[in-house]
């Protein structure tokens, strides 16, 4: 029983890491955009990050 729970958690972690890798790049890019780029471009970058995250969630639900 405990082994099954451990295996399930390991599978969830691997799935999360696989899904979170592009998300990590998006977050890093968002931080870069907000800190280094001018305000208007940074706002556009923030919105594009929101759109990318939304698309990731929608695509994951369809699979």
Residue tagged 């990731």 (tokens): 56
What is the structure's pLDDT at 27? 75
19 token code pair: 């899904």
H helix count then E strand count, the chain: 2, 0
| pLDDT-above-70 percentage for the chain | 62
CB 42 within 8 A of CB 34: yes
Put simply, whether the predicted model's pTM sits higher than 0.75 gets the answer no
CB 49 within 8 A of CB 26: yes
DSSP letter assigned to residue 37: S
CB 32 within 8 A of CB 48: no
């Amino acid at each position: 029983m405990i082994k099954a729970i451990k295996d399930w958690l390991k599978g969830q972690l691997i799935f999360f890491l696989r899904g979170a890798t592009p998300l990590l790049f998006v977050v890093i890019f968002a931080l870069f955009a907000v800190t280094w780029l001018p305000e208007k471009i940074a706002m556009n970058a923030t919105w594009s990050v929101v759109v990318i995250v939304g698309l990731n969630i929608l695509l994951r639900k369809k699979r």
